Amino acid sequence: MTLTLDDVDRFEAARPRLAAIAYRMLGSAAEAEDAVQEAFLRWQSADVERIEVPEAWLTKVLTNLCLNQLTSARARRETYVGEWLPEPVLGGDPMLGPADTAEQRESVSYAVLTLMERLSPNERAVYVLREAFDYPHKEIAEILDITEAGSQQIFHRAKKHVADGRARVEIDQAAARRIVEEFLAAATGGSVAPLLELLTDDSIAIGDGGGKVPARAKAFEGATAVAKFLWGMFRPAAAKRDMIGGAADLYAWPVNGEPGLVAVVGGQVVGIMAVEIAEGGVAACRTQVNPDKLERATALWATLDHGEPLVEQAF
């Protein structure tokens, strides 16, 4: 079928919402863009004039594409080298989608995206559509070809799975920057003692190098282990500079709505750390250094007014 300009405009108007749904579903901005493009191809080949509610039709097509992608992605992640973490999205990226409510902001946080990996594909779809986009269960049921009662049951189960593993508290951007500054000062200090004061007793540190950049295969657990790891990670070393192509400047910048650190070498983002804050302090540090998952961040970084780094040539 040949689309009219109005048909194309209708899809483009829906594109940001579709991309935000797909990113929350897949945990990958690159895969989300692919899913949205495939949805456009389906739209292009459909008899658009016979589609009564284009938004609902597009959401259903996209969601089913994501469900298929999640099934194959799970198989790939079983052979993934080391820990798998989502592709981080920097503050200012439209891929983050709606952020009007606490639920919407939480649904795209790095912590919750990581926790959603424990959900089944259907649980993830229901959780995203309900929690982040406030779809009624009746519409979710139609999208997923389940009953309305089934949608409600799946949502409550999914929400419990996510809530059981979540310790995050919401803070404003000014507080987030102060936390990152204090955290970085402790990590680059002369001992691990200041870090221990900031970390919760059950804190964790996870890194994803994708087999392309060295990263520990399993998470560090407990304040002492995490503090020692972080203190060592921020020590200057020639080997680190050789690996990342030079000395990195460190910036404070929101990552998926959470406080974050961005490491940049010559305009290229070489690492992103999302810092999860709980009532008792820093609960988790999740670091993405897989270069394949930093390409979008690098492209966006070039357009941002990110100011001066907190630390120049840190390591």
182 and 38 in one domain? no
Question: Among residues 164, 196, 213, which one ends one of the domains?
Answer: 164
User: How is residue 142 written in tokens?
Assistant: 């139609």
Please give the average per-residue pLDDT across 232-245, as a whole number.
91
239 and 102 in one domain? no
- Pick the most confident of 35-39, 243-247, 278-282: 35-39
Could you tell me the pLDDT band of residue 163, with boundaries at 50, 70 and 90?
confident
Per the model's pLDDT, the better-predicted residue between 213 and 164 turns out to be 213
145 and 18 in one domain? yes
Whether the Cβ atoms of residue 7 and residue 48 lie closer than 8 Å to each other: yes
195 and 97 in one domain? no
Question: Among residues 105, 139, 164, which one ends one of the domains?
Answer: 164
235 and 127 in one domain? no
Question: Among residues 164, 192, 223, which one ends one of the domains?
Answer: 164
CATH of the domain at 74: 1.20.140.160
Please give the average per-residue pLDDT across 133-137, as a whole number.
97
Q: pLDDT of 82-107, one tens digit each?
A: 899 999 999 999 999 998 888 899 89
290 and 198 in one domain? yes
Q: pLDDT of 281-305, one tens digit each?
A: 999 999 999 999 999 999 999 999 9
Where in the sequence is the domain holding 99, given as residue range(s)?
A: 5-164
Number of neighbours of residue 185 by Cβ within 10 angstroms:
14
Q: How many domains is the chain partitioned into structurally?
A: 2
Maximum CA extent, the chain: 68
Calpha distance 270→261 (Å, rounded): 11
Q: pLDDT of 106-119, one tens digit each?
A: 899 999 999 999 99
Instruction: Determine the distance from the C-alpha atom of residue 286 to the mean position of all C-alpha atoms in its chain, rounded to a whole number.
Output: 10
Residue 258: name the closest of 90, 94, 53 by CA: 90
Q: pLDDT of 18-76, one tens digit each?
A: 999 999 999 999 999 999 999 999 999 999 989 999 999 999 999 999 999 998 887 78
- Pick the most confident of 70-79, 136-145, 211-220: 136-145
189 and 143 in one domain? no
Give residue 156's pLDDT.
96
Q: pLDDT of 170-198, one tens digit each?
A: 788 888 889 999 999 999 988 999 999 99
Give residue 75's pLDDT.
75
254 and 150 in one domain? no
273 and 212 in one domain? yes
Give residue 173's pLDDT.
82
155 and 202 in one domain? no
229 and 98 in one domain? no
Could you tell me the pLDDT band of residue 16, with boundaries at 50, 70 and 90?
very high
CATH of the domain at 272: 3.10.450.50
Give residue 261's pLDDT.
97
188 and 158 in one domain? no
- Contacting residues for 294 by C-beta, under 8 A, at least 6 apart: 88, 268, 269, 270, 271, 272, 288
